[in-house]
């Protein structure tokens, strides 16, 4: 039996009877509901809900989308993503200047489902996120092939990526690769995992947070100079690869009470603080690099080369981002489940802080 959170008429934004594509809340609601549709597709499969018992289709049909393709994980047969096609799309929409336009395709990815049919595979992929090796997984290899096919058909301007938690990691990594290949995509990342200690959540003192991060930047910058000094012939290529992402601005949705994604707040705030106190030269080096990658020979944040295929990706952490448009949920979440959940992002009572972070070259 479907839970209330899977039933659109109970938990969905039924008040959005008309979508204004210039309205950020409307776009966020559509993207997050299509991610929820993927969750519900998999739950329909697990519970053998077919015909009138199925719940997933309500989550896309309400917004005039059709299901173009379901994405199946080869390892366990679970549905991890889907390609949705907008019924009312017209290429003429993209000739309208200074306005947002509806996408032709939204490719959405779910996060971890802690049920027997999907739990084992999803948790293994969660571990890959921590180890920065998601790019080698069969799920991601399949996902990037689907994305490239969609872009080849309609162009990158007509394709959105959306994902939650583990799915946000898939969408973010794919977005990086496509941007480095010259095809930036509009990307909606809900509660994306940050593969580092969640200082933002664990440390309460702002001075201590800054001190810890300042020391971290000094260490990373020092190690990066030492390592890349020995391999100076690669430095230009690595820095160029990082800067290829500078003009790409994905949408990040984070909750400060969610330890999985909250460190993005500190990551960007610290970078701004470093420039404010005159330590911008140190931070320009530190923000491009991961200490773990530097010490293990991964090279930090410059990986990806041209990004033409996922085999070109290095083990760089997902969170190494030059720019992002961040939405922070400032509403009080009673528990981790709510703080990390997808439903918060279309809640009409949502209170948020909106910050544009752009890399200062």
pTM, whole model, 2 decimals? 0.87
Q: Which of 311, 315, 318, 348 is nearest to 331 (CA)?
A: 348
pLDDT tens series, the chain, 361 aa = 889 999 999 999 999 999 999 999 999 999 999 999 999 999 999 999 999 899 999 999 999 999 999 999 999 999 999 999 999 876 654 545 456 889 999 999 999 999 998 999 999 999 999 888 999 999 999 999 999 999 999 999 999 999 999 999 999 999 999 999 999 999 999 999 997 776 766 676 777 777 777 777 777 778 777 776 655 545 445 457 778 898 999 999 999 999 999 999 988 988 888 887 887 787 777 777 666 666 665 545 444 433 344 444 446 788 889 999 999 999 988 999 999 999 999 999 989 999 999 886 6
pLDDT number for residue 90: 67
Q: Cβ atoms within 10 A of the Cβ of 233, count?
A: 8
E strands, the chain, in order: 65-72, 79-86, 105-109, 159-164, 186-190, 251-254, 324-329, 352-357
Helices vs strands, H then E, count in the chain: 13, 8
Quote the pLDDT of residue 226: 78
Structure tokens at 361: 């070259």
pLDDT for 64:
97
Domains in the chain, please, with CATH? 4-198+323-357 (3.40.50)
- Cβ partners under 8 Å of residue 341, min gap 6: none
């Amino acid at each position: 039996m479907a839970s209330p959170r899977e039933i659109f008429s109970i938990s969905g934004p039924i008040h959005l009877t008309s979508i204004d594509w210039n309205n950020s809340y409307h776009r966020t609601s559509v993207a997050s509901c299509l991610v929820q549709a993927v969750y519900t597709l998999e739950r329909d499969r697990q519970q053998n809900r077919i015909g009138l018992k199925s719940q997933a289709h309500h989550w896309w049909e309400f917004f005039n989308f059709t299901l173009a393709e379901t994405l199946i994980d080869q390892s366990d047969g679970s549905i991890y993503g889907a390609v949705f096609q907008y019924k009312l799309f017209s290429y003429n929409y993209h000739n309208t200047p200074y306005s947002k336009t509806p996408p032709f395709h939204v490719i959405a990815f779910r996060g971890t489902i802690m049920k027997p049919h999907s739990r084992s595979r999803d948790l293994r992929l969660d571990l890959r996120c921590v180890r920065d090796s998601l790019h080698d997984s069969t799920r991601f290899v399949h996902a990037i092939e689907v994305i490239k096919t969609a872009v080849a058909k309609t162009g990158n301007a007509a394709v959105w990526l959306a994902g939650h938690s583990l799915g946000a990691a898939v969408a973010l990594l794919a977005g990086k690769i496509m941007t480095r290949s010259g095809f930036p995509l509009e990307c909606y990342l809900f509660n994306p995992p940050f593969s580092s200690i969640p200082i933002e959540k664990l440390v309460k003192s702002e001075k201590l947070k800054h001190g810890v991060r300042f020391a971290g930047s000094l260490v990373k910058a020092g190690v990066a100079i030492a390592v890349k000094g020995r391999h100076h012939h690669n430095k230009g290529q690595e820095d160029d690869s990082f800067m290829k992402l500078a003009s790409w601005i994905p949408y990040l949705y984070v909750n400060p009470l969610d330890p999985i994604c909250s460190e993005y707040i500190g990551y960007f705030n610290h970078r701004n603080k470093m420039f404010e106190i005159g330590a911008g030269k140190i931070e320009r080096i530190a923000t491009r690099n991961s200490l773990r990658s530097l010490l293990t020979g991964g090279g930090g944040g410059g990986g990806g080369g041209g990004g033409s295929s996922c085999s070109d990706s290095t083990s760089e952490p997902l969170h190494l981002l030059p720019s992002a448009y961040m939405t922070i949920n400032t509403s009080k979440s009673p528990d981790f489940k709510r703080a990390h959940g997808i439903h918060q992002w279309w809640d009409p009572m949502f209170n948020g802080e909106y910050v544009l972070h752009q890399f200062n070259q």
